[in-house]
Structure 1
Amino acid sequence: MIVVYTPPDGEPEQYDARSLRVSEASIVSRTTGQKWKDVVQGLQDEDLDAMRAVVWVIKKRSHPGLRLGDFDPGIEEMVTRWDQDETADFVRRAIALADSDPEVTRDDLDEAWRKAIAAAADPAHAEATIKEMTEAPKDEARSPRPQATDPSPSQTSSPPEAAISDSSPTSSTSLPEPSMT
């Protein structure tokens, strides 16, 4: 998970939470009052305390005297994004789900790809990963499952509801969320 911190009138800075040493992760945990697994979940949920603590600890590498109270970013100055491994993992799991679940439609995958690109720290890499993993090998006719609900949809019918939902990650048709483990 990458925390992107954009200071006022500055360029975005990226801080990779996976680069933390155990001692640094312990400092983050003590600072936030959370176990590391909860900090990781907080990063996925863009928890301000988790993001602030991670950035602060990594900044301390080059500024050892930096105190937490001296690093107080604005609430809209930090966001989390997926690193390249998390992006590739999400794409692999989404393809596997689409291959195994006939209810996952082409529209569902297209929506998942849009979300993956938006969530990635490197959108160009996300696009390239999606393209690479969804192109069928020349000797194999494999592609993500096309929309297969009604074989004869009318022009006036509404498109089927997407099986992917931000509010129902436990749904059997929801695409997987990336994890840091």
Structure 2
Amino acid sequence: MIITHTLSDGTVEELSTDDLTAREAADIEAAMGGSQWQRIEALLQLQDPTALRAVVWIFRRREQADLKFDDFDIPGWRRRLKARITRPEIEDALSNLMLQAISSKSEDTQIDLLAPHLRKLAQDPADVDAALDGLGKGHLVKRRQDSED
């Protein structure tokens, strides 16, 4: 997951949760009251201010070792922080959906429902279409494009 942080000078900083160490992830879990990492990822997708702040805090703590989570804040967080998912995360979500939908034979319908959400969260919305192509579901992209015309 990529957290974009627009600094006060307008510079956009990208922080990837893939760059966290296991210890840093555990420190985020502890700062978030013991939440498990899967819950934190879900909160990030929901643009939760505490989860977003925790990720930025842990990166800042690399430069300022004594920085306490309770003392760290980001004014204007709503316009300055965004969580976005990466292509591998999109592929994982679609693969999991396919596995769950196989038994019900409704994967196209479920993908049609999930794809707009994935596009909204994606760092690059085109990654959703590429991931669908990779799963052999490129016809859903064509169908969506045809309905927009």
2:70 pairs with 1:85: no
CA shift in 2, pair 1:30/1:91, >3 Å:
closer
Give the C-alpha shift of residue 97 in structure 1. Answer: 4.1
Which residue of 2 is the match for residue 111 of structure 1?
113
**RMSD, aligned α-carbons:** 3.0
Give the C-alpha shift of residue 48 in structure 1. Answer: 1.0
Deviations 1:112-164 (CA, angstroms, capped at 9, x unpaired) = 2222222212222222111232358xxxxxx77xxxxxxxxxxxxxxxxxxxx
Amino acid at match of 2:56: V
Which residue of 1 is the match for residue 143 of structure 2?
none
TM-score where L is the length of structure 1 = 0.59
Give the C-alpha shift of residue 71 in structure 1. Answer: 4.3
CA shift in 2, pair 1:135/1:40, >3 Å:
closer
Q: Which one has the largest radius of gyration?
A: 1
Which residue of 1 is the match for residue 44 of structure 2?
43
Which residue of 2 is the match for residue 21 of structure 1?
21
Amino acid at match of 1:128: A
Cα distance in 2 for partners of 1:64, 1:52 equals 15
Structure with more of its chain in helix, by fraction? 2
Which residue of 2 is the match for residue 74 of structure 1?
76
Deviations 1:16-37 (CA, angstroms, capped at 9, x unpaired) = 2232112212332333333333
Which residue of 2 is the match for residue 34 of structure 1?
34
Give the C-alpha shift of residue 95 in structure 1. Answer: 3.2
SS, match of residue 77 in structure 2: coil
Structure 2 stretches of 5 or more lacking a match? 141-149
Give the count of matched residue pairs. 136
Structure 1 stretches of 5 or more lacking a match? 137-142, 145-181
TM-score where L is the length of structure 2 = 0.69
Amino acid at match of 1:79: K
